[in-house]
Structures are given as structure tokens and as C-alpha cells.
Chain A
């Protein structure tokens, strides 16, 4: 473990914490533009967080400790996820501690807790949201795992830093298997981050909401943590996509000076990614909840096909 490694590790966490609300804000701005609305401020997410942190937290009178601990657990999971994913540098001391499978496990951990907390109050909406979240989760999780496996089969490793290092030095521009995996990943990322066509982040229409139903009982600092965690999750997913499919510009072991370039590169890639996501959201319509399972099953199939394509073509 080197000092530059520790530094890049800490820098990643700080960058994730600071940039995550900006990415969400950026996507919202683009969405408004594409839909011919006047855009909210780019910094709206920060203001919302600040406002929520200064508000009183109201907790249901029979809420258990689990309910109060969950925002911290979920937020912690997302911090950890953004620490594991090599966004700026592959010189990460934490990388051997958790590989791609552990990353998926980490997301599952957060999902289980957020669902349990939603069930804790015992209102109809909370348990409805928990059920739907787990429904999406059990289809999206294996799909994400298969996407990561497609990359693992190419690079012969499940360690995220090894994957990035190998993929960044590849000769072929795009692997056919990764093309399938890329489509599957986009679908999974949309579903996991409560985006159209699976969920609508800007609605509180009772019968369609998923993410909002889960966090309905949270207020004040707890809600702030949950919202921040949601931004971090979007950030983490975007970074997984970037590291798998556009792994250029990430600093490697022994060259910490590349980090100077890595940060603007990351911001640039995320800016394009956020705008693309807004475009997809604008171009598609929200589906019924039972179409979601078909949507995610398609993603799952595509990811498996990606693996098979790799084995068939041997590349």
C-alpha cells in the first residue's frame, strides 16, 4: 500500500461525495431542456440536501432502530461502492478487498436494508415499495452480475482494477460480447436508479412509484442521506459503465500524475453519460410494473448472450 494509493482512494471518495448530486442535477437539467421546460438550477440537489439537513426529522412513533439505522447503512454502502470502483485511478488499496461480485453484493445489501426499513413502519405504501424494489432487484442483480462476468471472461479476472487495466490496453475497439453487455447494463442501470421507463424520479403518483414509496416515511436528515445515497448510487452505476465500456483516461499504478488528467476526463465522460441518460428518459415512456419484469428479463438474457458470444467467438 503506497501513499499515492491511499491518496487516490480518498480522492475517489471525496470526488464521489461532492460530484454525485451534481450528476443528478445535470441529468435533470438536460431532461428539462430536452422536454422544452425551463431547467432548474444545476445546483438544486445541493440546496435540497442543505435544506433537508436543516430540517427536523419526523420518525413514526413505532419505528424500530432498524428504520433509523438504515439511512446511514445505505449511505455507507454507497460510499464504499464508490471507493471500490476505479473511477480515477486503478491504484486502489481497497481493490483486493472487494471484487465485482462483492460490489454486486454491496448493492444487494443496501437494497435489502432499504426494503426492510420501508416495511418497518407498516403502512401500505412502504411494503408495496419494498415488494417492488425487491422484484426489480432480483432481476437486475443477476443481470448486473452477468454484465460484469462478460468483462471478467475477457480479462480473466473479477477484480475491478484488473478489468480496467486490461480493457484500457485492448486492441479491439469494441468486443462483440461487451456490446451486448453494454445494452444490458444500460437497462439495468435505468432500473436500479429508479429512472424512466422503470420508475419516475419526479412523481409521487401513488400507484406507480417505487423509490419514492420506499423513502416515503423519511424526513429531515434521514431523507437527506437517502437522497444523497441515491445520487451516489447513480454516480457509482455511471462509473461502472464508464470503467467497463470506456476505460480510457484512468490513472494506473505508478503514475499518480495521470490523476490530474483523470479528473477532468471523468467529469467529461459523466457529463456525456448524464445527458445520454436524460435523452433515453425523454424518449421512452414509463411502463407498467409487470412490463418491468420483461424489460429486466431482456437485460438478463442480453447479458447471458453476451457471455455466450464471447465463448463462441473466443474474443
Chain B
């Protein structure tokens, strides 16, 4: 019986399994050991199953199903094609690592009871998979909202702290503003037919005005979820508030569902594409990436730093997608496929390295109770395990070879180099500037990542209590290792990874890069031809290791002396201490100074005569003051105005009714 099941059926069964695991969590609400040591690993196994099923589904033809759920006469339509399968594979593979980590992570007595947390967590995973599977606007919106709500409850799991409640509220607010735009987008797409299935939308031929309207609404709606400028403000608030495995899932996977939605709408549901959509995506992506990386370099809270880094990566994804739209609009589909491959590759590599980094901060948070970079330091000595694993994530995130982040950046830069073929000279001029900015973003990301790793793990501990920090437990280690393996596979086997991605680009723009890539050998990544550009990470790694050993051999041959441990050189100043190291603020200072106009800074310098001098600096977001605070002030003013009507006396309300009645009567007479 099982052999006859389609991939889609398997996925639904696995989603059901997640819900069962979640429901068991509700039953065993406060049995901490059962939830953490049985249910979360079970959920992780299901994740693994989801990953495998989705991976094999990428290579198969699309499957559809109609679920008897939903309203009468309005069932859920589901469809599994290569695009959705790829995103489900990312959800499953990252989810597996995060779930195993979570099994060792959640501790007793923190906010939401463990069983409920388990339920919310698995509901979140299920809803993400179903969002990606949805094939009509109704199912999509229901799942989108389930995803938003379950993640809201996860973010606020420590709900006794007011700041966390506020962060959760902000997240929910922005998520809903986005959801309204998505709903409107679907409204435009169905073109007055009243049929909200995606199949119907694919068949509609909208005018360029309505297509653009739908596209812009999608950019706004999905942008709110992804954290595109200027709707990014919830990210740096929600990520530090959420427990680390939740941050890892939200940043690594949930943001990608927004990318999925944008791809689905602009490449699948809309039948035409205009070149200026690409320019919009490029511009938005570039601003987002630059903004994100600048802010991540000046943060002093480790999770905020990573949140801003996620904003940066979302920007890079949009740049890749914008380039894809641009090429597709000019019917240069091979290049569109290259740009989209870069985008989708980055979806996968960002999912892995960002989850890895968030989980690493989770271990640090557990061991030390500190999120503030100014109170950390020197942890490599006390938690070497977490430190080395995080280092891999840091290198991947900084876009260094031979890790995953480098391959996607390499592909993105390659697609920029091919642009001079565009028929529009203005665009040809614009593109090198964008390429330069992307290179700048990548290099700045390296700065932020060195700061992140160096301040947390290297140097001397800035607080005495850090000496008691303990390394991650065994379940946490397995989860971390799984994600490290992902980073390595993505970095070292690009040809094999492009194989499934090629299926997706074939679906979106009709070109499959995998055939060319495969023809050039299993270890050599050459998207066009070997003469134009090629990169072989495995050879790179082997030669790198050989060079390393050559250095070791040279030293063995030449060296005769000993190694001696001593106190570090103090430059003749014996009173040096750990507080004299560069702080997070200090490390970010050059960035603050160079990009001064982009920050809203509040610096307090002590006067020279101060008995107890205090120096403080805070970096704020301009967008708060430009957009959100004015909106909030206006809303409050309007609410106060309306509030004047509320006098709290029955006679006044009767008077209102009377006046309304009179007005209606007059209106009818007219």
C-alpha cells in the first residue's frame, strides 16, 4: 500500500506526524524530560524524512492534491513542484539540525511550558511546509497566518519580560501589514474571476498595469516577512527575544518562505515580466544589503548582530532575483537561470550558516547568560567545541572559500559579469555599480563576522563568571554538526547541489544550468564554459591543505627550537587587564565613523573633570524616526480625536444616535 503513495502524500503524512508530536507535547505539558528527549528528536527525524522526500520530489513531475479541509466548497489545493520541493528540502534539512539541537537546548522553568512550546514549534514547521505546498490563495493565506501566529507565540515564549512582549507585538503587526498586501496581490491576480486557485491565476493574462500592481504588492507583502527595507525593523527586535532554535528557524527558514512567495508570484503566477521590476528588486536588495551589513557591524548584542546580518543576506537574495527578472524580461534565459541559481544557492547556504550561528549564540547564551558582547570574550578556552563549530559558520557567512557562502557569491558575481549583453545601455552602466556594491557588502560582512567571533570567543574573558562557562551538551553538538555538514556540502559539492536547483530554474525560466555544469566534470563548477570562469572547491581545499602541510614541513626542516608558554607581552605596562581589549563598540567605531550619516547616533562623552567618567554610545535606526514614530504619533493623535466622542454618558450616546438618524433621513430624502 505504501509503495503507491506519491511524494505529496508522504509529505502530508510527515506533516501529520509533526502535528502528532506537537499534540503529544500538549498531553505531556510539563513533563520536561519526555518532551525534550523524546519528542524533539522525533520531530527531528520527521524533518529528515521531509528532507529526503522533498529531495526526490524535485526530480519528479509536479503532483497535485485537493484536501477536504477548509470551508464547504472551498477545499485546500496543494501542489508539489520543483520550486516548492526545493524550499521544503531546505526546511527539512535545516529543521533536522535545529530540532536535535532544541532537544538539548530548552531548559526547565523558562516562560511557556515545554509541552506547549513543542506544539508551537511543530505547528510552525508544519505551516511552513504547507505554505510552500499551497496551490490556492485561501490555503496559502491560512497557512501563512498559522506560520505568523505560531512563530509569534514562539518568539514570546519568555513572555514575562515586557521587552519580549513588545518585540512580539511589533513582529505580529508588521507580519499582518504584509499579509494584507499579499491578500490584495492575490485579489489582483485572480482578475475578477472569483477563482482563487493558483491554476486559474496562471491562466490569466493581466495588463502590464495590473501585473505591475500585483508585483509591487507582492514585493511589499513578502518584503515585510523577509525584512526588506524599510519593513525590516521587526527582525532585530524579534530575533534577540526568541529562544535560539526559534531564531535559527525564523532567520534560516521562515524568511525564505517570503523569498519563495516572491519567486512564485513573479515567475510562476504572473505571465509577463517587465525590466523595471528587476531594477526595483536590485535597488531594494542593494539598499537592504548595505543597510543590514552596516548595522550588523556596529551592533553590541550578538543576536541583533546576526539579525542585521540576515537582513543583509535577504538583500543579496533580492539582488540575485532582480538580476534574474531583468534577464528574463529581455529573454536572456540562460543568464536568468544563472542569476536565479545564485539566488537559490544562497537560500540554501544562508539557511545553514545562519541557523548554525544562531544555535552557536544559543549555546553561548546558555553557558553564560549573556547576550551583550561587552560582557563576553575568551570563550574559546571554555567552550572549544562551540567555538570551532561557530568558526565554520562565521567563515561561511563571511563568504570565504571553500564554504557555502562563497559559492553563491561567486555565482552572483559571475552573473554580473555577463550583463554587458543587455540591450539597454543605461542598465549596462548601472550593473557594474551594483556589482561593486555587492562586493563591498561581502567584504563588510567579513568585518562584522570577525567582530562577532573575535569578541565572543577570542581574547580574555571580560567577566569573571565566564570561567564557569560549559560546553554544549551531546544533543546540541549533533545538531550543530549536522548544520556544519550542510555548510561543507554546500561549499564543496556545488555541481551536485546545482543539480536540483537546475530543475527549479528550468521550471521558472526554462533553462537548466545543471547540464552545462555536469558536462564539465563532477568537481569543477563552470556555469558557462571553463574558459570563462571555473571554480573547483574540492581541489581548492586539497591544495589548501597541501600548502598548509608544506608550511608544517618547512618548519620541521628549518626549526630547531622549543615552544615556551609565557605571559603575553604587556608593552611595559603591567596593569593591563581584560577591560582594555577592544570592545564591540570599539570594533565598530571605524564603521560608525565612516558611514556616519546612515546611523542615528547618541554619543555621550564624559567631561575631563568627571569624577566617575561614563562614555556611552547608542546606534539607532533612522527609519524608526522617519517612518514608524510619525505613523505611531499620527495614529495616536487620530485615536485621541476619536476618543473625544466617547464621553461615557448615556445621554450623549443617545444624542449621537438621534443625530445619525436625522442625518440618514435627510440623506434618504435627498
Contact = CB atoms under 8 A, between A and B. Distances in A.
Interface string B340-353: 00000000000000
Contacts of A127: 454, 459, 581-582, 586-587
Given A122-B460, A141-B439, A56 B447 contact: no
A300 B496 CA distance: 36
A138 B441 CA distance: 9
Interface of A: 50, 53-66, 71-73, 75-77, 79-80, 83, 94, 96-99, 101-102, 105-106, 108-109, 111-112, 115-116, 119-125, 127-128, 130-132, 134-135, 137-139, 141-142, 145-146, 149, 152-153, 156-159, 162, 206, 216-217, 220-221, 224-225, 290, 293, 300, 303-304, 307-308, 311-312
Contact of B535 (A97, A120, A132, A162): A97
B570 to A, nearest CB: 7
A79 B547 CA distance: 6
Interface in B535-585: 535-536, 539-540, 543-545, 547-552, 554-555, 558-571, 576, 578, 580-582
Contacts of A102: 401, 406, 410, 535, 540
B611 interface: no
B429 interface: yes
B454 A119 contact: yes
A62 B460 contact: yes
A224 B561 CA distance: 13
A59 B432 contact: no
A54 B536 contact: no
A122 B563 contact: no
A83 B589 CA distance: 37
A65 B457 CA distance: 12
B543 A158 contact: no
Contacts of A124: 576, 580-582
B446 interface: yes
B479 interface: no
21 contacts: A54-B561, A57-B563, A58-B564, A63-B565, A79-B547, A80-B543, A97-B540, A98-B540, A99-B533, A108-B400, A109-B395, A119-B454, A119-B582, A122-B460, A123-B568, A124-B581, A127-B582, A134-B451, A157-B531, A158-B417, A216-B569
B458 A122 contact: yes
Nearest to A78: B547
Q: Which 9 A/B pairs are nearest by Cβ-Cβ distance?
A: A127-B582, A122-B459, A76-B547, A122-B460, A142-B439, A119-B454, A97-B539, A60-B568, A76-B548
B454 A115 contact: yes
B563 A56 contact: yes
Contact of A83 (B378, B432, B543, B578): B543
Given A59-B563, A61-B566, A96-B526, A159 B534 contact: yes
Contacts of A56: 561-564
Given A96-B536, A97-B539, A127-B581, A79 B562 contact: no
A131 B449 CA distance: 12
A159 B581 contact: no
Contacts of A112: 395, 398, 400, 446, 449-450
